[in-house]
Amino acid sequence: MKFPNLLRAFGLAALGTLAVGLATAQDAMPRPAAQPAPAPAAEPAPVPPPPEPVGEAWILVDAASGKVLAGENIDEPLPPASITKVMTSYVIAAEMAAGKISPDDQVRMSENAWRKGGASTDGSYSGFEVNQSAPLVEMEKGMVVQSGNDAAIALAEHVAGSEQAFAALMNQYAQRLGLTNTHFANATGLPDEGHVSTARDLAMLGIALARDYPEAYSYNAIKEFTVGSITQPNRNVLLWRDSSVDGIKTGHTSAAGYCLLASAKRGDQRLVSVVLGSTSERQRADDSQALLNWGFRFFETHGLYEPGTAVATQRVWKGQADEISLGVESPVLVTVPRGRYEQLQPMMDVPSVLVAPFEQGQQVGTVRVMLDDEVLAERPLVALEPVERAGFFKRIWHEILMWWESL
């Protein structure tokens, strides 16, 4: 036998001996007890239909993502009654933040405010005495907690000179907030021609007040307020029923029916509900509570991408840098049925060839978050840093490489 053949034969024999030895050793080793196969993960139960409030319109919204979880007639213009005062609070807080007014300002209860909204009227009132003054923050609490029409008018006169001028301010702020189907004619919500809003707009307004001016928003959780010898409770009975509820505002007129803009926070999740045109105080509270409970039970909100954090890194041609980091300019949050977070499908739409230069903040592509066939969120992908154009020789070299890769 020739030497190479002998070597090959020897190697095969050695491998065979090694295999037999390993098999024998494995047979001699104690074997672990058989483990049951893991049970397949249970599919999340489908979300049942939402409660259906009694009323002309209603909505439930996740505050962080803006996702409408359920609703009916959400864009129908209707009289908002005293929910109007949430916009009055927003304007006051915004004007205060701009340095135009102060919480220590002395606000006078004018005869006009007293006659139009005081105790002699059929509406709710705060009890501040006519022709007397009180600190702005106290007058505001009288408006928010007691739903005082007199306090709302006095505050409007203090901020803008007249209630009519203040209503113009309200509409300016409503436009900035994107309340496209809302128009205010007064600061109180008392019946007035053309004074309307929608369930969607009022939910957006409540979310904006909690987000932009949390101190002003906190007044809505006060359960009672005293002016002189008069103590009145907050008309939002959910404050007593549910510790997670911290606002926001009730309303009632013969034209508007019974209305409630409610908000609750459980953990990190805040939901906002609106019920318009209900039949009684109890009905609006019961329906609002049912909506909030349903939303918290069956939905959860997740933050996916933060501004300034790279979502993707892409190759760049003809640049001083060879890569570019892409991200988003605002947080990307999605609200999904509980238990379905793992099924989210992020998708990026970015050109296959990126050629410098790029400016910081320049849109380069788009990121979408899908669940089944629904787009839950869509945001521009922007350059997180600039990429300057490369020098002449690198550009020529990259031109050659791009041509070669295209073959």
CATH of the domain at 380: 2.60.410.10
Report d(CA 43, CA 333) in Å as an integer.
23
Q: Is residue 334 part of a domain?
A: yes
Measured CA to CA in angstroms, residue 93 lies from 83, 100, 137, 164, 187 at distances of 16, 10, 10, 19, 14
Q: Are residues 285 and 340 both part of a single domain? A: no
Beta strands across the sheet bearing 68-72: 68-72, 57-62, 269-278, 257-266, 245-253
Q: Are residues 148 and 229 both part of a single domain? A: yes
Q: Is 85 a catalytic residue?
A: yes
Q: Are residues 196 and 84 both part of a single domain? A: yes
- DSSP for residue 163: H
Q: Are residues 220 and 78 both part of a single domain? A: yes
Report d(CA 241, CA 249) in Å as an integer.
15
Q: Are residues 289 and 318 both part of a single domain? A: no
pLDDT, mean over the chain = 90
Q: Is residue 109 part of a domain?
A: yes
Q: Is residue 197 part of a domain?
A: yes
Active-site residue (options: 65, 67, 82, 263)? 82
Q: Are residues 83 and 132 both part of a single domain? A: yes
Q: Is residue 375 part of a domain?
A: yes
Active-site residue (options: 65, 124, 126, 147)? 147
**What pLDDT is recorded for position 295?**
98
Residue type at 2 in one-letter notation: K
**What pLDDT is recorded for position 367?**
96
Q: Is residue 42 part of a domain?
A: no
Count of CB atoms situated within 10 Å of the CB of 242: 17
SS3 308: coil
Q: Minimal CA–CA distance to 79: which of 201, 300, 253, 212? A: 253
Phi, psi at residue 114, to the nearest 5°?
A: -65, -45
Active-site residue (options: 85, 116, 249, 318)? 85
Report d(CA 388, CA 359) in Å as an integer.
8
SS3 176: helix
Q: What is the dihedral of CA 145, 151, 157, 160, to 10 degrees?
A: 0
Q: Is 82 a catalytic residue?
A: yes
Q: How many domains does the chain have?
A: 2
Taken in order 195, 198, 202, 205, is the CA torsion positive or negative? negative
Q: Are residues 67 and 176 both part of a single domain? A: yes
Tokens of 74: 């959400």
Report d(CA 188, CA 151) in Å as an integer.
9
Q: Minimal CA–CA distance to 319: which of 268, 348, 357? A: 357
Phi, psi at residue 280, to the nearest 5°?
A: -165, 165
Measured CA to CA in angstroms, residue 292 lies from 204, 214, 338 at distances of 16, 21, 15
Q: Are residues 198 and 322 both part of a single domain? A: no
Examine the fold and report which residue of 298, 332, 350 is the final residue of a domain before the chain moves on: 298
Q: Are residues 265 and 191 both part of a single domain? A: yes
Examine the fold and report which residue of 249, 273, 298 is the final residue of a domain before the chain moves on: 298
Q: Are residues 353 and 231 both part of a single domain? A: no
CATH of the domain at 111: 3.40.710.10
**What pLDDT is recorded for position 194?**
96
First to last CA, the chain: 54
State pLDDT tens for residues 350-399.
999 999 999 999 999 999 999 999 999 999 999 999 999 999 999 999 99
Tokens of 3: 């030497």
Examine the fold and report which residue of 298, 332, 361 is the final residue of a domain before the chain moves on: 298
Count of CB atoms situated within 10 Å of the CB of 92: 29
**What pLDDT is recorded for position 314?**
95
Q: Is residue 6 part of a domain?
A: no
State pLDDT tens for residues 93-138.
999 999 999 999 999 999 999 999 877 787 899 999 999 999 999 9
Which segments of the chain have a pLDDT < 50? 1-34
Q: Is residue 48 part of a domain?
A: no
Report d(CA 49, CA 214) in Å as an integer.
32
Burial label, 16 (beta-carbon count in 10 A; 0-12, 13-18, 19+):
exposed
Q: Are residues 324 and 207 both part of a single domain? A: no
The domain of 163 spans 57-298
Q: Is residue 39 part of a domain?
A: no
Q: Are residues 286 and 334 both part of a single domain? A: no
Phi, psi at residue 273, to the nearest 5°?
A: -120, 155
